[in-house]
Structure 1
Amino acid sequence: MKMSFTLGAAPHRLMFLAGTLQALLAMGFWMSVMGVRAGLWPATAWPLFAALPPAWWHAEVMLAGVLGFFICGFILTAGPRWQGQGDLPPTRYLPAFGLLAGGALGVWLALVLPWLLAPSLFLASSGLAVVAITLAGVARQPAAGHEHIACASLALTLGAAGLALLATFALNILDAGAARLGIGLLLWGFVLPIFLVVTHRMLPFFTGSALTGYVARRPSWALRLLLIASLGHGALDGLGLIFWRGGVDLSAALTALYLSWCWWDARVPGQRMLLVLHGAFAWVGLAFLLFASESAASTLRPGLFGLAPLHALTLGYCSAMLVGMASRVVLGHSGRPIVAEGTMWWAFWLMQVTALLRVASDLLAAPLLPWLASGCWLVAFGGWVWHYAPLLWQPRRDGRPG
């Protein structure tokens, strides 16, 4: 009873715990799929994959079912504080959690009962919509600025729309184009914009909190350009205009590299926690440079880069930033010192190895490397979960609520 009360005491507790379970299950499952593709063992005939490509299922589970929980947990915990408000009461986030959890469970059951996929996706879509509405209400409250919280609310709305499109495809109402658009919205309209908003809001703040005399700069034009570039990339990609996407990708790369330079301080390497966050963000510039190179080569060598740019973004940036940001939230909201101890430090570096392996697997066309990358990700995140997950159901060490 005490554990259940503690888990419901703050949005990040339940959401992060669900996200960790989803992550371990999803990557373990995907590692088995990668093993089949590498010829290590025979395939399992999952009924759902007769109608839905495994890669689409993987994309939905990782973007909405894993990162979606962490995003909602973080933004529902931090968002009200950005606006100078108190913590949200459980009635403002437990219904959303119930919808998201029900949807996530249904997507897993759909592997053997495909008819469950559409209602499960609609459930998850409703969960994101509830969080978006909650944040919109928070954004209306008086505060110094509304841009970050408003952008987060809009991104959650686009994520809900993406899941709804996937659900209509599962019902055979719309064709495969709608499913691809839905997955595109989940990445380019939901996950990446939220990560960029959180990074723009928190990375300068965290750096300034740790380094005396550091001047935190958050150029609004840079965030707006990156958000427009994310949406533009997704739209042009969905239309198949890969070559014309190059200008968007290059502008995003240069903007991200500028922010990396703008936020850097020579003292960052002396602070492990800061180095993790800055190192993760550096992948954004690199990933968009790869996307721009892919666009330039698309007319002569289409598909030359494979999924290398995508995994540079999702593994190099999103997974590594997840380790850093989630660690800060779990430590800070459990009344513990915010320091990058050994588990978090090694999890970050193993995520870097994972990203390099997955990028190399596409550039070198090495079929065994995706399986190795999946295993490396599991070891990295599994170690993180072993150390940090218990803090989610333990009361705060300082006796404060939350």
Structure 2
Amino acid sequence: MDAQENALPDIRLLAAAPHRLMFFIGAGNVLLAMAWWTFWLINSRWMFFDAPQLAIPAGWMHALIMQYQVLPSFIFGFLLTVFPRWMGLPAFSRWHYVPVGFGLLAGQALTLVSLFGFEHLLFLGWLLTFAGWLTGVVYLAMLLWHDPNTTWHAISAFAALLLGLTGIGLVFAYLFSRDPHWMFAAIKFGGFGLLLPVYFTVCHRMLPFFAGAALPGYRAFRPMWALGTFWLLALAHLGLELAHVYAGLWWVDLPLAALSAWLLWRWWPRQRMPALLAVLMLGFAWLPVAALLYGLQSLWLVNTGEFLLGRAPAHALFIGFFGSLLVAMVTRVTQGHSGRPLQLGGVAAFAFIAIQLTAVMRIGAELAPDILAWHGAAGMLWLLAFTPWALRSAWIYLTPRADGQAG
């Protein structure tokens, strides 16, 4: 094992398994995307550099890049790994997942370059992103077609990917027409059509599985009606946002908060759990918090006409829920699939704690004076959280498994 740990990095190993390649690309994408966004926030506040003006508002681009390029790198890495396992079918080969990775890597790279005065590259960046997405979706669809059983978690995740493809189609509609209604819809589809359903589906299947693997006597609890109910609530939220009926969101978000809090209570072990399992549970705890904030903001709007919390509920969801579980879930998969002990480790623990602070800072910024300064501080804290974690993860993907096995 020591020899494996001290092995030199080998880029050829990235093609050995879908999670290696896609997680490696995701680690790079998350740092590059947030480095640009943090630079833009800080420069907008203090004007250190004479940066080119963007043809598309930076906040819109930040949302699109994170939702359709950064997080999908990890999502496809996970789904291309687990779909064959869930269905008992042969694993994908490198010819299946390498094109997906190339599309997401090149697509985001060109998108980011386009933001520094090279707008002609933006369309090409999204064309490559769409190509990578479509390749992954087609291969996953082929597995679903040959599924000998009815794997509802796979169907649920695949449905979310189809909504994600719809969102990318809306991005192209905006690029051709420059009608902001298409961009608004694309951003909403990314959050409540793609990311939240994928995350919830994976948690519904994997959190009880991980708990059962770590704790003797733990009884897995996966009520399928809860997954179906979640979909109804998520789609209702998406529809209300698309229709700008924010005063009605509390009708669906408060039940979503109750459903997710109840699942967390049922999943939470009644015994001491390892740190790697604890961060998974704590990461999921952000979902009822975010849904509650959405619901309370909606009720406040009904009673006062004020949109008090601004983007705070969205960032409780995106930084708190998505960000925390990104660190927790990817660390769990990386440790297990690299032949290492299923332990959290200091680097991942630091990243997880820093993400909690980032989420609180970004939520509180909505009510703080000099909001842009707080946004920049939150961006820097995000980079501080993710940089050591991403670099350590990238090293693991470039080196052989610690136990000497293939994969």
Quote the residue 2:47 is aligned against.
41
Is 1:21 matched up with 2:28?
yes
Distance 2:215 2:146 in 1: 31
Q: Secondary structure at the match of 1:298?
A: helix
Displacement after TM superposition at 1:199 (Å): 0.7
Q: 1:286 to 1:324 in 2, by over 3 A?
A: same
Mapped to 2, the partners of 1:131 and 1:2 lie a distance apart of 27
Q: Output aligned runs, 1:278-293, within 5 Å.
A: 278-293=281-296
Match of 2:260 in 1: 256
Q: Is the 8 A contact 1:132 1:154 kept in 2?
A: no
What is the Cα deviation at residue 42 of structure 1?
A: 4.0
1:76 paired residue number: 80
Q: Structure 1 vs Structure 2: percent identity of aligned residues? A: 35
* 1:350-389 superposed matches below 5 A: 350-367=354-371, 368-389=373-394
Quote the offset at 1:80 in angstroms.
1.3
Change (3 A) 1:260 1:143: farther
Which residue in the other structure is 1:117 paired with?
122
- The AA in structure 2 aligned to 1:154 is A
C-alpha distance 340-2 of structure 1, shift in aligned 2 (>3 A): closer
SS in structure 1 opposite 2:366?
A: helix
CA distance in 2, matches of 1:196, 1:44: 42
Partner of 2:348: 344
**How many Å apart are 1:389 and its aligned residue?**
1.5
**Whole-angstrom CA distance in 2 between matches of 1:213 and 1:232:** 37
Q: Which amino acid aligns with 1:66?
A: V
CA distance in 1, matches of 2:18, 2:310: 37
Q: Deviations over 1:21-63 (max 9, x none)?
A: 11111111211222134x333464334x1x2110010011111
Q: Name the counterpart of 2:297.
A: 294
Structure 2: distance between partners of 1:338 and 1:144: 30
- Contact 1:323/1:348 (8 A) holds in 2: yes
Deviation at 1:101, TM superposition (A): 2.1
CA distance in 1, matches of 2:186, 2:176: 14
Residue by residue, what CA displacement relative to the aligned partner does 1:113-142 show, whole Å, maximum 9, x if unpaired?
212222321321232222122112222334
Deviates more, 1:148-157 or 1:272-281: 148-157
Higher alpha-carbon deviation: 207-216 or 362-371: 362-371
**Corresponding residue of 2:211:** 207
Q: CA deviation at 1:2?
A: 8.1
Q: Which amino acid aligns with 1:4?
A: I
Cα offset for 1:386?
2.7
Q: 2:279 aligns with which of 258, 272, 276?
A: 276
Determine the structure 2 residue equivalent to 1:61.
Answer: 65
Contact 2:27 2:391 in 1 (8 A): no
User: Which residue in 2 is equivalent to 1:307?
Assistant: 311
- Give the whole-Å Cα distance in 2 for the aligned partners of 1:118 and 1:227: 32
TM alignment of 1:95-174, pairs within 5 A: 95-111=99-115, 112-143=117-148, 145-172=150-177
With 92-101 and 318-327 compared, the bigger mean Cα shift is at 92-101
Query: Does the CA-based 8 Å contact 2:9-2:395 persist in structure 1?
Result: no
- Hey, what's the Cα distance between the residues in 2 that align with 1:319 and 1:253? 18
Is the CA contact 2:264–2:281 (under 8 Å) kept in the aligned structure 1? yes
Question: Structure 2 counterpart of 1:228, which letter?
Answer: L
Q: Provide closer, same or farther for how the CA distance between residues 46 and 224 of structure 1 changes in structure 2, counting only shifts above 3 A.
A: farther
SS in 2 for 1:8: helix
State which drifts further: 374-383 or 111-120: 111-120
TM-score (structure 1 length as normaliser)? 0.94
Secondary structure class of the residue paired with 2:135: helix
**Alpha-carbon distance, 1:366 to partner:** 4.5
Query: Which of structures 1 and 2 has the larger relative contact order (alpha carbons within 8 angstroms, sep 6+)?
Result: 2
The count of residues paired between Structure 1 and Structure 2 equals 397
How many Å separate the matches in 1 of 2:122 and 2:317? Answer: 27
Q: How do 1:179-194 and structure 2 match up within 5 A?
A: 179-194=183-198
Q: What do the CA deviations read for 1:304-360 (whole angstroms, capped 9, x no partner)? A: 101100000111110010001111111111111111111111211111111111111
Paired letter, 1:292:
G
CA offset at residue 398 of structure 1?
A: 2.2
2:10 is aligned to 3
C-alpha separation between the residues in 2 aligned to 1:317 and 1:126? Answer: 28
Q: Which moved more, 1:342-351 or 1:280-289?
A: 342-351
